[in-house]
Amino acid sequence: MATFDPKPVTNRRVGFISTRFSGHDGVSLESAKWAQILWEDRHTSFWYAGLLDRDPAVSLCVPEAHFTHPENEWINRRIWGVTHRSQLVTQRIHALAAYLKTTIYEFVNRFSLDLLIPQNVLTIPMHLPLGVALTEYLAETQMPAIAHHHDFYWERDRFSINSAIDYLDMAFPHRGHNILHVVINQQAQEQLSLRKGVSSTLVPNVFEFEKEPPPPDEYCAGFKRDVGLEEDDIIILQPTRIVPRKGIENAIRLVGRLNNPKCKLVITHESGDEGVEYQHMLEELAREEGVDLRIIADRITDVRQTDQEGRKTYTLWDAYTHASLVTFLSTYEGFGNALLEAFYFRVPVVINRYSIFIQDIEPKGFSLTLMDGFVTTGIVKQIQRLTGDLAYRNRITEANYRLATRYYGYAPLRRNLQTLIANLPQPH
């Protein structure tokens, strides 16, 4: 059995493992923040995934580890939404897991790692064989690990009927003595303890509030014009993907009730892999409500650049710079990164009181326009004041920025990571 020598609290070589580290999804963003804090504390990070935008010199890209790999999709079609699993499916799960386990051994050996941080890969079974492979690797080697859990399988209806309960019990999450567990909200902490008998540390998502956002520059000055808006238009920003749980229909109804043709609802992302039916419904609803709805996903990229048509593209941060209000009317969120982003760019927020917000965020005392599932006259009046009274808006957003720095800045994350690393179990 492979063993690992104990290391000092500094100078750890840390391996992050997931299905992808690329783009603006929550796992990719939060893992990069963790890596930054670890680097500042003299730890070096390395990356393993099926899709990567990290430095190739410190990465191992294994295409079979991505959740859209054909073999994994073949398996998923035969284990979710059904209650019986054939022998062939089991064999192919084992075969893919066995191969992926060899690549994890390769990853650890190539970069001489002494700590792994699985990012959601032992949490939500979008790639069940990868979770099995990592569980077996951790059991065989007893390598210390910190499992960062973003959203569990029991939080998603699509995993409720399945033929893989044995694997879910085994690997989601793995419960070895060599692993510490981190969750992002109190509800997940309670459910993990109740369902799996596992204790965990609550580490919310964060943002670098200690560093002021960059001021608007010449590049983003033409943002409104380039997305087809007038300079005096009021951008109501929906900075999310177009998926049903985001509650965008209420954002449309809200903008409609503002009864101001200068108010434009701007959505920054597309539907992704969950279909376009919801988007079509939103477009029809916007026409009925007389709302000018703009979906600008083709103009929002990870970095500023020029697209194939010679058009300038902008980052999500550029969109926040021009926003007068952020709509965040989700029915469910594991945490809510868009809320932190709005605090950072000092944009007021109208928010639906989803359960995690009520339990974890609302008690902190942020000044927000609150909605309980539907748009009211009181909400409309608050939004009209926020978009029309600049002094009032500035007082609200500055207070939110200060509170967010206290609770969701990098300083509390650094303290949490230092404590976790200091308390890592040592190999037997």
The beta-strand segments (E) located in 329-415 are: 349-352, 369-371
Range of the domain at 186: 13-206+411-422
Do 145 and 290 lie in one domain? The reply is no
- For residues 102 and 228, membership in a common domain is answered with no
Q: Are residues 202 and 258 in the same domain?
A: no
Q: Measure CA of the first residue to CA of the last residue in the chain; give whole Å.
A: 11
Residues 108 and 244 in one domain: no
Question: Does residue 244 have a pLDDT over 70?
Answer: yes
For residue 65, pLDDT over 70 is answered with yes
Beta strands (DSSP E) in 193-291 are 201-202, 234-238, 263-267
Q: How far apart are CA 173 and CA 151, in angstroms?
A: 11
Show the DSSP H helices in 9-86 as ranges. 26-40, 70-79
Domain identity same for 196 and 226: no
Q: What is the pLDDT of residue 4?
A: 46
Share of the chain above pLDDT 70, in %: 96
Both 164 and 95 in one domain: the answer is yes
Residue 32 has pLDDT above 70, yes or no: yes
Q: Is the pLDDT of residue 49 over 90?
A: yes
- Whether residues 416 and 391 share a domain: the answer is no
CB atoms within 10 A of CB 303: 7
| Number of domains making up the chain | 2
Residues 71 and 129 both lie in one domain: yes
- 244 and 140 in a single domain? The answer is no
Give the burial string for 275-289 (b: 16+ CB within 10 Å, else e): eeebbeebbebbeeb
pLDDT grade, residue 427 (50/70/90)?
Answer: low
353 vs 307: which has the higher pLDDT = 353
Q: Is 395 part of any domain?
A: yes
- Convert the pLDDT of each residue in 82-110 to its tens digit: 999 999 999 999 999 999 999 999 999 99
- Arithmetic mean of pLDDT over the chain: 93
Those residues whose C-beta lies under 8 Å from the C-beta of residue 217, and which sit 6 or more positions away, are none
Residue 7 inside a domain? The answer is: no
SS3 201: strand
143 and 232 in a single domain? The answer is: no
Residue 4 belongs to a domain: no
C-beta separation of 55 from 143 below 8 A: no
What is the rounded radius of gyration, in angstroms, for the C-alpha atoms of the chain? Answer: 23
Averaged over 395-421, what is the pLDDT?
A: 95
Structure tokens at 336: 């809510």
Residues 78, 321: Cα–Cα separation, whole Å: 45
Residue 129 lies in a domain: yes
**CATH number of the domain that residue 226 is part of:** 3.40.50.2000
Q: What is the reported pLDDT for 260?
A: 94
Contact 353, 370 (CB under 8 A): yes
The confidence score (pLDDT) of residue 274 equals 65
pLDDT, tens digit, for every residue of 263-295? 999 999 988 666 789 999 999 999 999 999 999
Amino acid at 355: S
- Choose the weakest-confidence range: 91-95, 326-330, 334-338, 347-351: 334-338
Burial of 378 (0-12, 13-18, 19+ CB in 10 A): exposed
Range scoring the smallest mean pLDDT among 49-58, 211-220, 371-380: 211-220
Q: Do 223 and 365 have their domain in common? A: yes
Sign of CA dihedral 356, 360, 362, 368: negative
Task: Tell me whether residue 158 is in a domain.
Answer: yes
Please tell me whether residues 270 and 388 are part of one structural domain.
yes
